[in-house]
Amino acid sequence: MKPALLRPALLAASVAICGLFLSPQTQAATLVPGSPPTPPDTLPSISGTFLASLTAPFATATLNGTVTSEVIRANTGFLDFVIQLSNGTGQAIEKITSGVFDGFTVDAGFILPGGTASGFPPLTSPLTGGAAPATVDENINTVVGFNFPGNAAILAGQTTDILFILTNATNFTAGTIGLIDSTTATLPGFQPLAAVPLPGGLVLFGSGLAGLGLLARRRKRQAIATA
C-alpha cells in the first residue's frame, strides 16, 4: 500500500470498529464525558490479577469512615478499578468520584450483593443493606461519578456495594477519590496512566480495537451472570 493511502485506510478501519463498539445496543453502558448521568451497569463479580490496594481513612468535621481502592488486571490485559466505602458516624454521602480517565474508554457500575472482587483484601458487596449508586456519570474533566441522591444516600454505618470502573487502560498511577455531600473530602486512590502518544491514524485504530476488547469483556461477564 502506498504511504499516502495508509492514513485513510487506518481511519476507515478505526471508524468501522468504533461504530460497532458504539452501536445502540452497547452505547448506554459506555460513559461519554459531559453527558447526563446514566443507570449503572451491574456485574456478579470481578476477577483477574490483583495489582494494588489502598485503604484510606477519612475524617472531617462532618464525614468519617474508610475507602478501599484496588486495581485488578482482567484476563484481557485491561485494568479494572474498584472502590468500596464504609461510612462512619458522620453525614450521609451522596456522591463518590474517581479520576481522571482522560483518553480512556470507561464503563461504570457496581457488583451485585454477595459478589466479590479478587483484590487483597478481597472485597464483597453486602448481602443486605448495601448502598448502590442510582446513576453514574463522567464529567467534562473525565472524572467518573457514582451518584447516591436522596433516599439512595450512603447513611452513617452503611457500606457501599463494590463500585467498578472498567477501562481499556494497561497501566495505572496515583489518583484521587472524592466524597461529596454538604462538605467534601479528597482521598488517595488510583487512575489510568496515559500511554506514550501514537501517530494519529494508529491512535484511532488502536482505540477501536481497545473498544472491542471492553465490549467483549462486558458480553462475557453478562453471559456468566445469566448462565
Give the closest residue to 104 by CA, choosing from 165, 160, 159: 165
Contacts of 222 (CB under 8 A, 6+ apart): none
pLDDT, tens only, 39-72 = 999 999 999 999 999 999 999 989 999 999 999 9
Cell numbers at residue 19, please? 461504530
Say what the pLDDT of residue 224 is.
54
CA count, 13 A, side-chain hemisphere, 98: 29
Residue 11: the pLDDT is 32
Q: Are residues 16 and 95 in the same domain?
A: no
Same-domain check for residues 4 and 38: no
For residues 216 and 168, give the distance between their C-alpha atoms in angstroms, rounded to a whole number.
12
- Cα separation, 15 vs 190, in Å, equals 30
**Is residue 98 located within the same domain as residue 154?**
yes
Q: pLDDT tens digits for 124-170? A: 999 999 999 999 999 999 999 999 999 999 999 999 999 999 999 99
Model's pTM, two decimal places? 0.76
Find out whether 142 and 180 touch, Cβ atoms under 8 Å: no
Question: Are residues 58 and 42 part of one domain?
Answer: yes
Contact 140, 134 (CB under 8 A): no
pLDDT of residue 202: 52
Residue range(s) defining the domain that contains residue 4: 1-30+196-227
Spatial CA neighbour of 131 closest among 94, 168, 169: 94
Instruction: Note whether 98 and 161 are same-domain residues.
Output: yes
More confidently predicted of 198 and 110: 110
For 218, the enclosing helix (H) or strand (E) is helix 200-226
Q: Does one domain contain both 201 and 225?
A: yes
If pLDDT is split at 50, 70 and 90, which confidence band does 118 have?
Answer: confident
Strand order in the sheet with 49-59: 41-43, 106-111, 163-167, 79-87, 64-73, 49-59
- Please indicate, yes or no, whether residues 151 and 216 belong to a single structural domain of this protein: no
The pLDDT tens digits of the residues spanning 8-45 come to 343 334 333 443 333 332 333 699 999 999 999 999 99
pLDDT at 122: 86
Same domain for 152 and 211, yes or no, is: no
Q: Residue 100: is its pLDDT beyond 90?
A: yes
pLDDT at 211: 58
Domain tally, the chain: 2
- Cα–Cα dist 90/219, whole Å: 39
Is the same domain home to 14 and 48?
no
For residues 49 and 26, membership in a common domain is answered with: no
Question: Where is pLDDT greater, at 136 or 202?
Answer: 136
Q: Is 80 exceeded by the pLDDT of residue 117?
A: yes
125 and 182 assigned to the same domain? yes
Q: Is the pLDDT of residue 108 over 80?
A: yes
Residues 189 and 140 in one domain: yes
CATH number at 77 reads 2.60.40.290
